[in-house]
Structure 1
Amino acid sequence: MLLNVSYSDKEMTRKIDLLVGKPFSLKQRWALGGIGSPRLFITETSTGIRNLLILDNNRDQCNIELRPSGIIVRFRSLLETYALVIPFYKLTVYKGDLGIYSIHKDHHFIKVNAETKAVQKFFKKLLDYKVDNAPTTIEDL
């Protein structure tokens, strides 16, 4: 689900919380060693996201927030903030050549550059958390 999250909206927040869970508590964030990614530089995206990013001349970048049941990929275009909300059961991550990670959900995708150790460490944490917490049967959803 691709959303404009620039403005506070209780209904949109409720939808996001239903899809990927409420944000972690401070104690849980501390136990996980942080839930946010470093700054990720976007190299390629799907058409819908690309149409948003080309509206300004800034360097395309995003960050990822880990949630109990999924992730939220946030990026900015002009003065608006957009979020790609991805539950774990729809999340697919590929590691490509030259340190490129590709994050897929249905027809949306974002490819990011992962040259630094911090980015690679975050993706390892993300994938390990997904394996431990993703639903295994349809009843778990």
Structure 2
Amino acid sequence: MLANVSYNNKKITAEVDSLVGKPFALKERWAMGGIGSPKLWITETSIEIRNLLILDNNLDSCNVEIRPKGIIVRFRSLLETFALVIPYYKLTLFKGDAFVYSMYMDHHFIKVKADRPNIQKFFKKVMEIKSRNTPTALEDL
């Protein structure tokens, strides 16, 4: 789900929470060693996201938030904040050459540069949490 999350819209918030769960409590965040990524530089995106990013002349960047049932990739365009909400069962994560990670969901994708060790460590954490929280059978959904 790609949504504009700039404003406090209860309908969108409820939809995001139903897809990826409510945010972790502070105690859980400490235990996990943080739930947010460092600033990630976008190298390539799907056409729908690219059309949003080319509206301004800023450098394209995003960040990732870990939730109990998925991740949220947030990026800004003009004065708006957009979120790509990806449940774990739809998330496909690839590590490409030249330190690039690709996050895919349905027809959306975002490729980010991972040239620092803390970024690679963060994506390893995402994959571990995904493997623990992804249902193994259709009955588990």
Q: After the TM superposition, which residues 116-135 of structure 1 pair with which residues of structure 2 at under 5 Å, given as runs?
A: 116-135=116-135
Match of 2:113 in 1: 113
Structure 1: 4+ residue segments shifted above 6 A: none
Match of 1:56 in 2: 56
SS at match of 1:98: coil
Deviation at 1:20, TM superposition (A): 0.4
Provide TM-score, normalisation by structure 2.
0.99
47-56 or 126-135, which deviates more: 126-135
Aligned residue type for 2:12? M
Provide TM-score, normalisation by structure 1.
0.99
SS at match of 2:98: helix
Deviation at 1:135, TM superposition (A): 1.3
Deviation at 1:27, TM superposition (A): 0.7
Aligned residue type for 1:110? I
Residue 3 of structure 1 pairs with residue 9 of structure 2: no
Match of 1:102 in 2: 102
Match of 1:42 in 2: 42
Aligned residue type for 2:116? T
SS at match of 1:82: strand
Percentage identity across aligned positions? 67
Deviation at 1:139, TM superposition (A): 2.3
- Listed one character per residue, the Cα deviations across residues 110-129 of structure 1 (whole Å, up to 9, x for unaligned) are 00000000100000000011
Q: Mind listing any 5+ residue stretches in structure 1 that lack a counterpart?
A: none
